[in-house]
Each structure stands twice: as C-alpha cells, then as structure tokens.
C-alpha cells in the first residue's frame, strides 16, 4: 500500500466511514425519537379504545398495553389527568423524556445514553396526542426493546455504510489510477528513458495528459528536456571545437614562432617605413603566439587568470586602433580616441588588448557590412569606483537574435560565417578582472558597449582572526 493509488484507496475508505459515522449518530437519534413517538401513538389509540368502552376486562387491557409496548398510559383531557391503562411496574421510573419540543443536542445525548446503557430500565415519555385528542399523553415503558431495536438499526446502517464505502473507494481508486497514476507513471517512464540517452530528441516527452496540472508538468518537463538536449549538443560541439582549436593552435604556434624569427631581422632594415611598421608587426606576432599558447592552456583547463598590474590604457587602445585601421582597406571608417594621457588601469595588458580588439573589430565589421561610411569612437574615464571604457560605432545596430544571445557562444554571431565567440571571450576575460561588459544601446544609428573595471581591490583578509 505504498503506492499512490493504494494510499488513496485507504484514505477514501476511512473518510467515507468517518462521514457515515457522523451521519450515523443523528440517524440513531432520529430512530429513537420515531420509536418513542410511535409508542405514544399506539398508547393513544389503546386509551381511546378504552374510553370508548369502560367495560374492558383485564385480559383485553393487558393485550392493549402489550400491543402498544408500554406499561402505563396517562392521558390529560379537559384539564383532567387520568390513568387510562396500567400494569405493574417492574422497577421504579428512572428517567423522564419530554418529546414535545426536544433540542437536537438532547436527542443525540439521550440516544447515545440509551445505546451505551445495557440494563433494562423503566422510563417515562411525555408527548402531544395526535390530532389534538387531548392535551398531553404520558407512557411508561422498558428500555430493553428500545435498545435492541436501536442496535439492530445501527448495525444495518453500519453494514450499508461499509458497502457504500467499499464501492465508493473502489470507484475512486479506479478513477485516480486512470486519471493520475497512469499519467504519472508515463512521466516517470519518459524521464527514465530520457535519462538513458538525453542527446536523443526522440526521447523528449510529448504532453498528452488530459488533467490540466499534469499536462502543465509534462509541458514544463518537455521544455526542460529540450533546453538540456540543446545545451548538451552545444557542449559537445564546444568540446569538439576545443580539440580542433587546440590542434590548430599547436601547429599555428610553430608557424608563428618561425615568422617571429624572420620579423626580428626586419628591425635592422634601413627602410624608414619598415622600421616604423616592424615593431607593430613583431608585437602582433607575439600576441598571436601568446594567444595560441593560451588557447592550448584553455583546452586543458580554462582561461588563464589575469596577471593584474598598473598599465597605461592609451598605448593599448592605439595598438588596437592601428591594427583595425589597416584592416579597413578602402572603406571610409574613421577612428576617434578620447583616452586621457597617462590614465593607468589595473588589468592584464594582453587580455585587455584582446577585449578591446574584439569590441573594435566587431564595430569595424558592422560598419563595413553596411557598405556606408562610419565612425568608431573610444572613450575612457575614471570615476570614484571604476574605470569605464566605451566603444561606440555608427553601424547598423545589432539584430534581435544577436541581442537575445549576446554573450552566448555560437549563438550571438552577427556576420555570416561568424562563430559568435568574440563577445563571449571578451565577457569572460572582463569577469576575470572582476568587472563587467554591457551593451549600452543599439539601434539603426549605432551600437555602444561599455567595459567597467573596478578600482577597489578585494581584501581577502577582512574578517580574519
């Protein structure tokens, strides 16, 4: 009986029996009242027969009392109290009950006393004569036959209640099993089947319950399974991509290391243009080598923690802008920088370069995709609590899908063929600094991102003993 249907069957039986018991007590009280009233009516009929003919012998009088199942009959007529029928009392009268205007509580209490008092007593019962055949009628009678009749009636009521309880409980058991237990078992089987192979979309539950609450549970489970399956597929793709990127990064690092050896010799060139561009080329290749090494490290664990130090922001912004300006080609894109000279921020220079590179590169690509001239504006300032770096462009703005999955890998891409990793990587790097990367605004007039780095340093010693 540990099942839901079994427990429901037991509870239903118990509750129905409890309801029948609550009905049983008033029913027995009503039965006792009817029993006593019927004895008063019989006694009245017998007394009227005697009044019609005072010459009734003792044998007939005893027969009248026996048929009325009483011992004495007293009739009050015309203000005269008259003992109409009488017989010897086996015991003195032990209680008197007035049925002319009884309260429900007194009827129930008297009925319970009659049931639970086994000895045969003599009681007086007072009532109103039927059809106004007098003012008052009193009878004395034994309680033994009354108690026996009440017990027989009670047993019949209890037996009927038991049958009704069993039938009701069985019907409710079948209904609950059909409407609740079977659908719940179906949900459990669907969950077990899905747990065995969560990547198999055929195992996602299809809502079919007719009960509204169960259907809502199935729909919620379907949504959760669908999202989980998508997340598992995405993680699987990420794992596969991580392995592929690690392999590519390993070989690319070797190629870039060789290129780095050649660029070292360019610094000795007498060509002024080469001398001016060589340091930037060397820095770019060095950053590419570091990125490959970081990617290999990420494939083993996670993004390496930032090496925080005080770095000057303007040179980092200049390096990023110079690189993106070269990538513009023939497109009419202007760059504007509003970075205070000498502004120092607490950051990892290489990771900050990657974050700004992603933001400015995305802005440049958005303007180039529109085919119109545009401007990219980089603004930096320092407040009491943080450093704020804003990257604003005059591009076409972000589409709705990109805004919904802005910092989600493989879902926030805007360009055709883009992986949607740039902002995801940038947001992760900024979180490593204890800061945040947010979208300020986006519309057909352009897009603006803000990078916030905290000035305060977390004191790990606070609260220590």
Q: 202 or 413: whose pLDDT is higher? A: 202
Instruction: Name the pLDDT band for 416 (thresholds 50, 70, 90).
Output: very low
CA proximity to 169, closest of 1, 22, 14: 14
How many angstroms separate the CA atoms of 303 and 97, rounded?
94
Report whether pLDDT(203) > 60: yes
For residue 28, the tally of other CB atoms under 10 A from its CB is: 21
Position 23 scores a pLDDT of 78
- β partners of residue 83: 74
| 272 vs 330 pLDDT, higher one | 330
Distance of CA 418 to the CA centre of its chain: 38
More confident residue, 124 or 296: 124
Q: pLDDT value at position 384?
A: 92
Give the confidence band of 210 by pLDDT, cuts at 50, 70, 90: confident
For the chain, the farthest-separated pair of C-alpha atoms sits apart, in whole angstroms, at: 161
Residue-level pLDDT at 32: 87
Task: Specify whether the CB–CB gap between 72 and 84 falls below 8 A.
Answer: no
Closest to 69 measured CA to CA, from 139, 137, 117: 139
* Phi, psi (rounded to 5 degrees) for 69: 55, 40
Rounded to 5 degrees, what are φ and ψ at 438?
-130, 155
Per-residue pLDDT, 348 = 92
Least confident range of 249-253, 388-392, 400-404: 249-253
Handedness of CA 12, 18, 22, 28 (dihedral sign): positive
Share of the chain above pLDDT 70, in %: 79
Q: Are 285 and 260 in contact (CB under 8 A)?
A: yes
Comparing C-alpha atoms, which of 373, 280, 361 is closest to residue 325? 361
**What is the predicted pLDDT for the residue at 110?**
87
Q: Which of 146, 171, 165 is nearest to 21 (CA)?
A: 165
CB atoms near residue 447 (< 10 Å): 24
Are the CB atoms for 1 and 7 separated by under 8 Å? yes
Please report the pLDDT score of residue 229 as a whole number.
Answer: 83
Quote the CA–CA distance of 192 and 221 in Å, as a whole number: 12
Q: Which of 30-34, 50-54, 285-289 has the highest mean pLDDT?
A: 30-34
Q: Is 60 exceeded by the pLDDT of residue 197?
A: yes
Higher pLDDT, 218 or 265: 218
Which of the residue ranges 206-210, 272-276, 313-317 would you say has the lowest mean pLDDT?
272-276
Confidence at residue 315, expressed as pLDDT on a 0 to 100 scale: 94
Range from 34-38, 174-178, 349-353 carrying the lowest mean pLDDT: 174-178
pLDDT, tens digit (0-9, with 9 covering 90-100), for 53-101: 555 666 776 777 788 788 888 888 777 777 777 788 888 988 899 888 8
Average pLDDT (412-439) is: 74
Q: Please, what are the domains in the chain?
A: 4-169 (no CATH), 305-454 (3.30.565.10)
Average pLDDT (380-401) is 91
| Element counts in the chain: helices (H) and strands (E) | 11, 12
The model's pLDDT over 43-58, given as tens digits with 9 standing for 90+, comes to: 877 777 666 555 566 6
Distances (CA, A) of 245 to 47, 80, 222, 284, 421: 115, 120, 34, 20, 13
What is residue 437's predicted lDDT score, i.e. its pLDDT? 93
Query: Residue 282 above 60 pLDDT?
Result: yes
User: Which residue do the tokens 């089987």 mark?
Assistant: 189
- At 26 the three-state DSSP class reads helix
Strand partners, 140: 72, 124
Q: What pLDDT, in 10s, does the model give residues 136-159? A: 888 899 988 989 998 998 888 888
The winner for highest mean pLDDT among 15-19, 27-31, 241-245 is 27-31
What integer is the mean pLDDT of 171-188? Answer: 81
Query: Going by C-beta distance under 8 Å and a sequence separation of 6 or more, which residues neighbour residue 96?
Result: 123, 124, 125, 126
CA proximity to 426, closest of 400, 456, 406? 406
Q: What is the mean pLDDT of the segment spanning 323-331?
A: 83
Q: What is the pLDDT of residue 225?
A: 85
Look at residues 402, 400, 409, 404 and name the one whose alpha carbon lies nearest to residue 365. Answer: 402
Q: Tell which residue, 388, 403, 415, has the closest CA to residue 443.
A: 403
Phi/psi-derived region of residue 220, left when phi > 0, alpha when psi is between -120 and 50, beta in every other case: alpha
Percent of the chain with pLDDT over 90: 17
DSSP assignment string, 279-340: HHHHHHHHHHHHHHHHHHHHHHSSSPPP--EEEEHHHHHHHHHHHHHHHTTTS-EEEEEE--
Q: Is the pLDDT of residue 222 over 80?
A: yes
Q: State the Cα–Cα distance between residues 206 and 213, nearest whole angstrom.
A: 15
């Amino acid at each position: 009986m540990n099942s839901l249907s079994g427990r429901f069957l037991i509870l239903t039986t118990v509750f129905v029996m409890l309801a029948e018991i609550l009905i049983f007590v008033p029913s027995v009280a009503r039965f006792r009242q009817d029993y006593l009233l019927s004895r008063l009516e019989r006694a009245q009929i017998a007394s009227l027969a005697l009044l019609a003919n005072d010459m009734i012998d003792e044998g007939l009088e005893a027969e009248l009392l026996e048929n009325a199942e009483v011992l004495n009959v007293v009739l009050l007529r015309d203000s005269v109290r008259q003992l109409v029928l009488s017989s010897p009392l086996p015991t003195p009268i032990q209680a008197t009950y007035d049925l002319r205007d009884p309260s429900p509580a007194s009827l129930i209490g008297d009925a319970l006393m009659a049931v639970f008092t086994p000895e045969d007593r003599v009681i007086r019962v007072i009532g109103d004569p039927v059809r106004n055949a007098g003012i008052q009628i009193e009878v004395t009678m034994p309680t033994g036959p009354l108690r026996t009749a009440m017990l027989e009636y009670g047993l019949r009521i209890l037996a009927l209640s038991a049958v009704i309880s069993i039938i009701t409980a069985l019907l409710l058991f079948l209904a609950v099993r059909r409407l609740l237990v079977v659908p719940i078992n179906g949900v459990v089987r669907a969950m077990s089947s899905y747990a065995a192979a969560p990547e198999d979309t055929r195992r996602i539950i299809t809502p079919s319950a007719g009960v509204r609450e169960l259907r809502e549970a199935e729909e919620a489970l379907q949504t959760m399974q669908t999202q989980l399956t998508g997340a598992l597929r995405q993680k699987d793709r990420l794992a596969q991509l991580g392995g592929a990127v690690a392999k590519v990064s390993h070989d690319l690092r070797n190629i870039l290391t060789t290129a780095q050896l050649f660029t070292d010799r360019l610094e000795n060139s007498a060509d002024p243009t080469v001398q001016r561009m060589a340091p930037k080329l060397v820095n770019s290749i060095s950053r590419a080598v570091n990125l490959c090494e970081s990617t290999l490290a990420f494939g083993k664990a996670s993004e390496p923690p930032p090496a925080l130090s005080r770095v000057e922001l303007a040179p980092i912004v200049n390096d990023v802008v110079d690189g993106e300006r070269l990538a513009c080609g023939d497109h009419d894109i202007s760059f504007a920088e509003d970075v205070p000279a000498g502004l120092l921020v607490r950051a990892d220079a290489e990771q900050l370069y990657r974050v700004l590179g992603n933001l400015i590169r995305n802005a440049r690509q958005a303007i180039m995709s529109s085919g119109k001239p545009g401007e990219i504006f980089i603004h930096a300032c320092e407040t009491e609590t943080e450093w704020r770096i804003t990257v604003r462009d005059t591009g076409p703005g972000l589409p709705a899908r990109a805004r919904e999955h802005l910092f989600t890998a493989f879902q926030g891409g805007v360009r055709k063929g883009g992986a949607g990793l740039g902002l995801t990587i940038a947001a992760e790097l900024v979180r490593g600094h204890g800061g945040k990367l947010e979208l300020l605004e986006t519309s057909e007039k352009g897009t603006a991102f803000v990078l916030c780095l905290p000035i305060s340093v977390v004191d790990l010693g606070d609260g220590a003993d």
